[in-house]
Amino acid sequence: MRAAKAVIPAAGLATRFLPATKAVPKELLPVVDRPVLQYIVEEAASAGINDILLVTGRGKTSMIDHFDRRPDLEARLEEKGDLDRLEAVRRPGELAEIFACRQGEPLGLGHAVSVGQSHVGDEPFVVMLGDEFMDEDSPLLPAMLDLQAATGGIVLAFIEVPTELVSRYGIASVAPATDVPADLAAEHEIVRVTGLVEKPPVDQAPSNLAVVGRYVLPATIFDAIRRTGPGSGGEIQLTDAMATLLAEGTPVHGVVFRGVRYDTGTPAGYLEAVVELACKRPDVGPTFRRWLVDFVDKDLRG
Ligand code: G1P
């Protein structure tokens, strides 16, 4: 059975973006004219995931408002005949069914996922971290969903990171995957995971394959999270709960992602996402690119 629901943990305080995130959730920071969270929900919807649970926290209710209707605004735009903007305002509400629950205390990613248990039920589900998304031209989720439906286990996505950055990520040790459907293996770089460790010191990392923010998990993860004590940073880590399931025999595979990923979790990564996506946009892109080339030439080189 293919996973049909996604959980998006989005209760964090986003201290890296203060003071911008004092009153605005970081998930609503705009990339061109859409908030980061909308790109993530669009990524889910494109992969056939139309049931999304936002795990939120205090002061972050505006995230849910973004996916609600705005009849007053819609009526205004309709009167003015501004049909493009009317479409843009309606679109978030048409992508998926959005549900919300609260993570009362910031006890870690594993804990955030666990509060979704009663919404998710017994079926496999997707976890999408709220500050990264994949370019629509290089989708990742469909292959992960197909692979999970075939194995019934855990499916992760990896990127290769420079050795000095391994301590920022969950890191995997891997072996060749010999037990996955041939059609998937032919089209994607799939590995079998033999070990997982959260944010290891550089000299103890088993590889440079870093877990990125897309997971397809069986519902047995909830029980494993309950059995997981505080780990890296004193938090209940999803990586540790997945390592427990791995040790107990759950198959764990990873898809090595070579496409374009935007990481808006840091100010520098956020700015890169804004510039890259602005350049790609058919409406503002051509003018923005010309300005950017000019700016780099004159202001930075000269
Ligand atoms: C989380 C996970 C980590 C993963 C990372 C990807 O860490 O705990 O395993 O590699 O996301 O972005 P965080 O960035 O929340 O500290």
286 Cα: distance to centroid of ligand 1 (angstroms): 35
241 in ligand 1 pocket by Cβ < 6 Å? no
Indicate whether 300 pLDDT > 80.
no
Q: 53-94 pLDDT, tens per residue?
A: 999 998 899 999 999 999 999 999 999 999 999 999 999 999
Nearest to 94 by CA among 120, 76, 70: 70
Dist CA 166 CA 200 (whole Å): 7
Q: pTM of the predicted model, to two decimals?
A: 0.95
| Cα separation values, 276 from 135, 141, 209, Å | 10, 21, 25
Name the closest-CA residue to atom 9, ligand 1. Answer: 170
Residues 6+ apart with CB under 8 A from 59: 23, 25
Atom of ligand 1 nearest to the CA of 109: 8
Contact predicate 272/240, CB 8 Å:
no
Dist CA 264 CA 133 (whole Å): 8
Helix (H) or strand (E) holding 299: none
Q: How confident is the model at residue 179 (pLDDT cuts 50, 70, 90)?
A: confident
171 in ligand 1 pocket by Cβ < 6 Å? no
Dist CA 114 CA 111 (whole Å): 5
